[in-house]
Amino acid sequence: METQRLLSEPAPGISASPSEENMRYFNVMILGPAQSPYEGGVFKLELFLPEEYPMAAPKVRFLTKIYHPNIDKLGRICLDILKDKWSPALQIRTVLLSIQALLSAPNPDDPLSDNIAKHWKANEAEAVETAKEWTRLYASGA
Amino acid sequence: MFGNYGQRYIVLTEKDINERQEEDIGKVSAVLSIRREEACVLLHHYKWNISKLSDEWFADEEKVRDIVGLLLNGIDLPNSRKLTCGICFEGYSSDVMSSAGCDHFYCHECWEGYISAAISDGPGCLSLRCPDPSCGAMVLQNMINKLAKDDDKVRYARFILRAYVEDSKKTKWCPAPDCTCAVEFVSDGNYDVSCNCKFSFCWNCTEEAHRPVNCETVSRWILKNSAESENMNWILANSKPCPKCKRPIEKNQGCMHMTCTPPCKFEFCWLCLGSWAEHGERTGGFYACNRYESAKKEGVYDETEARRERAKNSLERYMHYYERWASNQTSRQKAQADLQKAEKEQLAKLTDVFGIPETQLKFIIEAWSQIIECRRVLKWTYAYGYYLDDKVKSEFFEYLQGEAESGLERLHQCAEKDLQSFLTVRSDNTEPAPSIAEFGDFRVKLAGLTSVTRNYFENLVQALEAGLEDVHSTAQGTTSSNATNIPSKKAVTKGKTKKQLPRTSSDNSDEGWPCERCTFINPSSVDACSVCDKHRY
Ligand SMILES: [Zn+2]
Ligand SMILES: [Zn+2]
Ligand SMILES: [Zn+2]
Ligand SMILES: [Zn+2]
Ligand SMILES: [Zn+2]
Ligand SMILES: [Zn+2]
Ligand SMILES: [Zn+2]
Using DSSP, how many helices (H) and how many strands (E) does chain B show?
Answer: 19, 15
The domain made up of B82-158 has a fold known as Herpes Virus-1 (3.30.40)
Percent of chain B with pLDDT over 90: 47
Distance, in angstroms, between A61 CA and closest chain B CA?
23
Instruction: Select the residue of B113, B116, B131 nearest A89 (Cβ to Cβ).
Output: B131
Which residues contact residue B141 at a Cβ distance below 8 angstroms, ignoring those fewer than 6 apart?
A: B37, B40, B41, B156, B157, B160
Winning range, highest mean pLDDT, from B418-427, B460-469, B471-480: B460-469
Instruction: Select the residue of B89, B113, B116 nearest A5 (Cβ to Cβ).
Output: B89
| A83 in reach of chain B (CB within 8 A) | no
At residue B20, the pLDDT reads: 94
- Nearest chain A residue to B113, by CA: A55
Burial A80-112 (b: 16+ CB within 10 A, else e): ebbeeebbbbbbbbebbbbbbebbeebebeebb
Please give the Cα distance from B104 to B137 (Å, whole number).
Answer: 10
- What is the value of ipTM here, to two decimals? 0.76
At B254-264, the pLDDT tens digits run 777 888 877 78
Whether the CB-CB separation of B212 and B461 falls below 8 Å is answered with: yes
Interface test with B, best of A6, A55, A97 (most B CBs within 10 A): A55
At residue B28, the pLDDT reads: 96
- Looking at residues A17-21, what average pLDDT do you find? 87
Mean pLDDT of chain B: 82
Centre of ligand 3 from the C-alpha of residue B178, in Å: 8
pLDDT surpasses 70 at B298: no
The domain made up of B222-293+311-425+433-469 has a fold known as Four Helix Bundle (Hemerythrin (Met), subunit A) (1.20.120)
Percent of chain A with pLDDT over 70: 92
Residue B317: C-alpha distances to residues B83, B236, B298 (Å): 76, 17, 15
Q: What are the catalytic residues of B?
A: 255
Among A59-68, B9-18, B128-137, B308-317, the least confident range: B308-317
Which residues contact residue B248 at a Cβ distance below 8 angstroms, ignoring those fewer than 6 apart?
A: B239, B240, B241, B242
- Nearest chain B residue to A56, by CA: B117
Please report, as a single letter, which amino acid is at residue B236: L
Mean pLDDT of chain A: 88
Strand partners, B98: B106
Domain chopping of chain B, boundaries: 15-68, 82-158, 222-293+311-425+433-469
At residue B224, the pLDDT reads: 87
Inter-chain residue contact B117 with A52, CB threshold 8 Å:
yes
Distance, in angstroms, between B48 CA and closest chain A CA?
26
Question: Burial level of B306, CB count in 10 A (0-12/13-18/19+)?
Answer: exposed
Domain chopping of chain A, boundaries: 2-138
Distance, in angstroms, between A95 CA and closest chain B CA?
12
At B429-454, the pLDDT tens digits run 666 677 888 888 999 999 999 999 99
At residue B46, the pLDDT reads: 94
Superfamily of segment(s) A2-138: Ubiquitin Conjugating Enzyme (3.10.110.10)
| B274 in reach of chain A (CB within 8 A) | no
